[in-house]
Chains A and B, each alone.
Chain A
Amino acid sequence: MPSIYTVIAADPTTLVSGSIQRTDEDGKVWSIPIDPANSDYQAYLATLAANSAPTA
């Protein structure tokens, strides 16, 4: 089963910044900063792009 991503929006009330939450197959949860150099964020973008690609 692939990892599940959840977008955590920035909250102007609490001043909590936006991030990406990834839940792995083993249940482990990673909070991923929005940083183009971060490999986990790159993987999220790649997954997003793959899932957005039109199918034949």
Chain B
Amino acid sequence: MSRAQLTSTVEQNSAGAAAPVVAGKNYIANSGFDIWQRGTSFTFSSTVAASTSTYTADRWAFGGTGAFTVTQQTPSNTASPYALRLQRTSGNSTSGDSFITYTMETNTAKLLAGQTVTLSFYMKAGSGFTGTTTYIISRFGTGTDEGSNAGYSGLFTGSNQIIKTQTPTTTSTKYSYTFVVPSSTKEMIFLIGYSGASGTAGSNDYLEYEQMQLELGSVATPWSRAAGTLQGELALAMRYYYRATSVGSSSNYQHFGMGQAYSSSAAKVPIPLPVAMRTAPSISSTGSLGLLNAANSAIGNASVGADGVSTTVAGTYWTGSSGLVAGNATTLIANGNSSCYIEFSSEL
């Protein structure tokens, strides 16, 4: 039993504080890879920098060289919800570094400025791992929420970094790294993954991660979710990204919201967001959506535009085929399919 676990047990038995197991000690959201709103398997066919377009599991974006996949996996440790696998696609012969990244927003990162912190996680490599080793890069900036792309590219204002390396094994092992966050820090990104991959990837060229944790102090305590509960983690994730989807619906005409037509081919539909988002979100729709007219017919080909978007309500307008009557109420629906969705992103 570790010192932290022993302390926790003693404190619990004496009804005192139990710091190692309380919610809120972990500064990383979706640290157990519980939440995968965008899907559970992602393919990147060529070199790409981390950005708002390369998110995989909620809050975790990919950036790297050559073809990679990021997938949800059954964890090696029973105390983990899931594992995240970062895999060099078989046949990839592009050399370089590749990462899964986590970007922390300013209102959290600034709380760690000048503090001693410990980053810990479980990691294992596939039998065909081709990296020279692995990188654990903690990169800091003095700007405000300049985003994952700037952090990944080393373009944070006042960019500064601490680089650790670790040689992985094929057994899932817990690693920890203690460092002092620079005192002027207002933003932070972690880049964790391959260092110097080379040669041609085979079928088991991967790294798997579980139980990511960043906490104050110099001891890696047992992992816990940042929010303490699965529902809390979902709310944390939705601060940055929310997907309203027809996937899983028993109907091919899933309703998304009600609005009003303002022409024969356009309508406004306000969509309340389930939690307040970090910023007014960008909006996109995928799959066939439609607008119901007074005859209960779906007017298809509806595409979305942002129209008065706040952190709590997404005002949207939809334009499509003709058949609506200006002034009439309308319902935004899936147009005969169960695979369409609307995305709201205020990711970094």
Contacts and interface: CB of A to CB of B under 8 A. Distances in A.
Interface of A: 8, 14, 16-17, 19, 21-22, 24, 28-33, 35, 37-43
Nearest to A10: B307
Interface string B282-306: 1110100000000000000001111
A28 B284 contact: yes
In order of increasing CB-CB distance, the 8 nearest A-B pairs are A31-B306, A37-B279, A35-B280, A33-B309, A39-B147, A19-B306, A33-B280, A40-B282
B51 A17 contact: no
Contact of B305 (A21, A28, A38): A21
Contacts of B263: 14
Given A14-B263, A39-B52, A43-B51, A33 B345 contact: no
Given A14-B266, A28-B286, A8 B305 contact: yes
Given A38-B281, A39-B145, A39-B347, A31 B305 contact: yes
A38 B346 CA distance: 6
Given A30-B283, A39-B279, 14 more contacts: A17-B306, A17-B315, A19-B307, A30-B284, A30-B345, A31-B284, A31-B304, A31-B316, A33-B280, A33-B283, A35-B279, A38-B281, A39-B346, A40-B52
B145 A37 contact: yes
Could you say which of A30, A35, A39 has the most chain B C-beta atoms within 10 Å of its C-beta?
A39
B208 to A, nearest CB: 27
A14 B305 contact: no
Contact of B317 (A16, A21, A38, A43): A16
B53 interface: yes
A37 B279 CA distance: 6
Contacts of A24: 53
